[in-house]
Amino acid sequence: MPLRLQNRRIDHHPLYVWMLIALLIIAILLPFHLSMVGHAHRALNQDVADMMAVAVGLGALGALVGVVSGTKWFRRKADVRDCFLLESWCLVPAVCAAGVFWIALILTAEDLQVAVLVGGMIIGLVWTSVDLRCQANRLTEDLRRKLTEKAGRS
């Protein structure tokens, strides 16, 4: 039984959508402009940068699919809990790739401002992933409670 929300979804906040779009842009630009992002190019070779870009790009693209799913434009009948879980799981490769980049920035220890920004982005991504998972669990519990109340009245 697909679950639909009456009010605005938690993942339709503009800041979250723009963060995903920014991650997608970073994934596109990272292989071409790695030397411009601090001194991390000393700790990372081009193959690692390409794999990080693929991980961030696929994670951001999958999360954007989760955001659009269940709306009037794409997969109208999709369960909101499935959309939240899709977004949560798609953020994992982006967090891992950003973590590798963060470690490379820390190892070079020349651009700590960029390392702090990337660390903040990692914390934001993890927070968002946990928040989406908790929201999906809360919706599942609400649905289970409503079904048991409905069965108890019969």
The pLDDT tens digits of the residues spanning 76-99 come to 777 777 878 888 888 888 888 888
Which ranges of 5-79 would DSSP assign to H, the alpha helix?
Answer: 14-29, 46-68
Residue 36 has pLDDT above 60, yes or no: no
Q: Are 133 and 91 in contact (CB under 8 A)?
A: no
> What is the pTM (predicted TM-score) of this model?
0.70
The answer to whether 56 and 94 have CB atoms below 8 angstroms apart is yes
